[in-house]
Structure 1
Amino acid sequence: MVTKAYRELTGDEKEVWDYFSKVFDFRPSMHRFPAIFEPVPSVTWSLSSLDDEPGDDRLDGLVRVLHAGFTTLVGEGSILCLDWQHPSYRVWPSLIGPENIGRPGWPLSPYPDGDYFIYLAEDLRFGTLGHPWELSLCAFGSDLLNLVEADLHDTLGKVIRRDGRQEAA
């Protein structure tokens, strides 16, 4: 039996958006930030210093760090990759990439390129939200932050909020 690395959410699975919206009080806006109730613990970084073009080493580092963190945390299990207003996916990180050896890549990047991109543990205990208009990335959950916070801070630098509270300038 061939197992796919990811598959599109269909039917009742799409209810994950309703559940996510309810739990995190998701309120999309181009002007009001943050877009979710940022849980404790969480850290939100500015993405304004990154170039979303291929070849930006910091962007590649961001993606690599988060994908490795998710892969470590779920082992053989799956996570959800949600793309607001577009198809969303259940992803088995252990079956992902590298693409150059014939394995599929991730269906979404954690970097928001015009829409909210959300990576989410199926039990909602950790994840990320990429905000396209604030140009920010919120990582939440102690398990995920323990794995990625130091590397993300080195890559992204500027913290906007911690545990949902504005950081001092």
Structure 2
Amino acid sequence: MTAPAWQEIDMEHYEDFWAPFDAQFRFRPHQYRQPAINEPTPSVTIDLAPIFASKPAQFAAAHDAVNSLGLLAMTRTFAPSQRLLVLDWQHPAWWFWPHRQAADDHPHWPVEIFPDGDYYIFLSEDATTGTFGHPWERTLCIFGAPLINTLAPLLTTWLPTKRARL
């Protein structure tokens, strides 16, 4: 048995993680404000609207594909011992080990890469590489060259690019 892939961070530390994210990315949560962060350079923002417009069975398959391809890219980008910070707006934050998730026979996603209801952020501890999922704009911003180079090609073969800052 491997160690768990997810470790919840106590809510008393919520601002310890959100405040630096807000400061660095100028996070502006609002249903109609798009983008909700200052997207860093380099970044590629994928348009997820075609998934939301699909039929229920296709939606479920595409939703799962984004999570699976995101996990695959993270295991190719980050070292096996490397953890990521996962932020879920107005909910607990988590530490996440992608390689442990990939090795789990029945992986559980307390927060998903696919933004189907809230802002979901996966960040390297130095905040240079990760993803920002915007639920209302229906986008996934991928930033940091290592993750862009692994995840963007997997997603742009079947989803359009909304913005790129290269």
Identity percentage of aligned residues: 37
1:48 aligned residue: 49
Kindly indicate whether the alpha-carbon contact (under 8 Å) linking 2:71 and 2:102 is maintained by their aligned counterparts in 1.
Answer: no
1:58 aligned residue: 62
Unaligned runs of 5+ in 2: none
**Matches for 1:5-154 after TM superposition, within 5 Å:** 5-10=5-10, 11-12=12-13, 14-51=15-52, 56-74=60-78, 75-97=80-102, 101=105, 103-154=106-157
Kindly indicate whether the alpha-carbon contact (under 8 Å) linking 1:115 and 1:132 is maintained by their aligned counterparts in 2.
Answer: yes
- How far has the Cα of 1:57 moved from its partner? 3.0
Kindly indicate whether the alpha-carbon contact (under 8 Å) linking 1:58 and 1:155 is maintained by their aligned counterparts in 2.
Answer: no
Q: Which amino acid aligns with 1:16?
A: F
Instruction: Measure, in 2, the Cα distance between the counterparts of 1:81 and 1:122.
Output: 10
2:4 aligned residue: 4
- How far has the Cα of 1:13 moved from its partner? 6.1
> Structure 2 length normalisation: TM-score?
0.86
Q: Which amino acid aligns with 1:7?
A: Q
- How far has the Cα of 1:73 moved from its partner? 2.3
Give per-residue Cα distances to partners, 1:54-89, cap 9 Å, x unaligned: 663332221111111112222221001111011221
Instruction: Measure, in 1, the Cα distance between the counterparts of 2:2 and 2:161.
Output: 42
Unaligned runs of 5+ in 1: 165-169
- How far has the Cα of 1:97 moved from its partner? 4.6
Instruction: Measure, in 2, the Cα distance between the counterparts of 1:29 and 1:131.
Output: 10
Instruction: Measure, in 2, the Cα distance between the counterparts of 1:137 and 1:2.
Output: 29
Give per-residue Cα distances to partners, 1:36-64, cap 9 Å, x unaligned: 00011101121111148566333222111
Instruction: Measure, in 2, the Cα distance between the counterparts of 1:135 and 1:161.
Output: 13
Compare 53-62 and 129-138 and name the one that shifted more. 53-62
- How far has the Cα of 1:20 moved from its partner? 0.5
